[in-house]
């Protein structure tokens, strides 16, 4: 963890305790001063002078509390909001931390932000490297399959060549899904959207599904492009599972997507969001659809979970 070197800073206990003692001390000194100076200059003038002195001392105490507590806390909250809006922005230390506890909190936050940025960069770099390096061998596999397809082969060999071609296509689908999963972690869909505006595109993409929409006029804190990606993934899973009806219900800060398909078996419920987990690998499933949806939502401060339903699969998104 980075250590920010600077001048001596009081602890939070010293600041709070000093403020309380200062308030009591000013009041006590004021009473003593009133008793001593009242007979000399008159109690009225003494009270006015002492009130002015107490007000000045209180303002000084208030300024110290603002400088040592309120201003650093406000600045730290603003820095956290900036990092939330742009997680890849460089986390800069604050100009003034106030107390030792706030300095430690700021260091921890900046260190955590730096570690998360490094982890995200590593994942994206590794994903780009793997997908790039796999292009050449996959191209070679496709070329070999095409050449073998033109050769005079018996039925067994042709079956083997078809299996190789399907394996190559499966690898290409997995790599494409991996790129989408990495891209989904980049927060670029800030804004709001409504289901009513997305239903036409969703129905056009999945004409075999009947969509039942409730709460279509509710503003959801995710831009239409991002929400459409999430819903298309969920609808694709529902259609592939054999569902015919999908219910979309939105409320303030939440969205439920439920279908009438066979649902998720108890043994698979804990694994549905795992990368590359799928029960449809033989039919071309990559196991990355829900991972992509979860990554995109997490990058925008939202979450998705599988919830209980009377029939079919049901997912609840919390914004």
Beta bridge partners of 255: 250, 317
Q: What is the mean pLDDT of each run of 10 residues along the chain (319 residues)?
A: 58 78 81 80 82 84 85 84 70 76 82 73 63 75 83 83 84 75 66 91 90 92 89 89 92 93 85 74 64 82 88 91
Position 284 scores a pLDDT of 54
| Domain assignments of the chain as residue spans, ordered by start | 12-119, 134-184, 195-318
CA 74 to chain centre: 22
Position 315 scores a pLDDT of 94
pTM for the whole structure: 0.51
Domain made up of 195-318: CATH architecture: 2-Layer Sandwich (3.30)
Which distant-in-sequence residues (6+ apart) come within 8 Å of 3 by Cβ?
107
Helix 224-240 vs helix 289-299: angle between axes, to the nearest 10 degrees?
Answer: 160
Tell me phi and psi for residue 98, to 5 degrees. 80, -95
Structure tokens, 189: 């869909």
Position 89 scores a pLDDT of 67
Between CA 300 and CA 284 the distance in angstroms is: 29
CA 38 to chain centre: 64
Position 187 scores a pLDDT of 59
Query: Do residues 178 and 285 lie in contact, with contact meaning Cβ atoms separated by under 8 Å?
Result: no
Query: What's the Cα-to-Cα distance from 222 to each of 181, 257, 298, rounded to whole Å?
Result: 18, 16, 11
Query: Do residues 269 and 290 lie in contact, with contact meaning Cβ atoms separated by under 8 Å?
Result: no
Structure tokens, 43: 């109690």
* pLDDT tens track for 76-132: 888 877 777 666 667 677 777 778 888 888 888 878 877 776 666 656 656 665 666
* Cα-based angle 172, 203, 269 (whole degrees, multiple of 5): 60
CA 266 to chain centre: 28
Query: Nearest CA to 293 among 272, 278, 312?
Result: 272
Q: Count Cβ atoms below 10 Å from residue 48 Cβ, excluding itself.
A: 12
Position 231 scores a pLDDT of 92
Between CA 156 and CA 162 the distance in angstroms is: 10
Tell me phi and psi for residue 196, to 5 degrees. -55, -35
* pLDDT tens track for 13-44: 777 788 778 878 877 887 788 778 878 788 78
Between CA 155 and CA 207 the distance in angstroms is: 38
CB burial readout 144-179, b (16+ within 10 A) else e: ebeebeeeeeeeeeeeebeeebeebeeebebbebbb
């Amino acid at each position: 963890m980075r250590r920010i070197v600077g001048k001596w800073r009081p602890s939070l206990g010293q600041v709070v305790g000093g403020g309380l003692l200062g308030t009591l001390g000013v009041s006590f000194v004021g009473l003593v001063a009133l008793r001593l100076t009242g007979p000399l200059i008159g109690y009225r003038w003494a009270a006015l002078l002492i009130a002015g002195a107490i007000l000045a001392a209180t303002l000084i105490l208030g300024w110290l509390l603002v400088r040592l507590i309120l201003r650093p806390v406000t600045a730290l909250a603003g820095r956290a909001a900036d990092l939330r809006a742009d997680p890849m922005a460089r986390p800069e230390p604050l100009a003034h931390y106030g107390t030792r506890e706030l300095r430690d909190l700021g260091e921890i936050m900046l260190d955590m932000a730096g570690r998360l940025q490094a982890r995200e960069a590593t994942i994206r770099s590794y994903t780009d490297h793997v997908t790039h390096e796999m292009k050449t061998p996959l191209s070679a596999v496709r070329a070999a399959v095409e050449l073998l397809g033109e050769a005079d082969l018996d039925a067994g060999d042709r079956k083997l060549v078809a299996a190789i071609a399907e394996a190559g296509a499966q690898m290409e689908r997995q790599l494409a899904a991996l790129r989408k999963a990495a891209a989904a972690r980049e927060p670029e869909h800030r804004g709001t959207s409504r289901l009513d505006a997305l239903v036409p595109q969703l129905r056009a993409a999945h004409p075999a599904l009947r969509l039942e929409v409730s709460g279509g006029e509710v503003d959801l804190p995710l831009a239409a492009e991002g929400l459409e990606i999430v819903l298309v993934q969920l609808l694709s899973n529902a259609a592939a599972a054999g569902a015919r009806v999908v219910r979309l219900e939105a409320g303030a800060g939440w969205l439920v997507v439920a279908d009438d398909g066979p649902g998720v078996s108890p043994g698979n419920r804990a694994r549905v969001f795992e990368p590359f987990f799928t029960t449809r690998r033989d039919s071309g499933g990559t196991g990355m659809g829900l991972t992509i949806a979860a990554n995109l939502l997490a990058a925008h401060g939202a979450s998705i979970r599988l919830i209980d339903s009377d029939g079919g699969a049901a997912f609840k998104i919390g914004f």
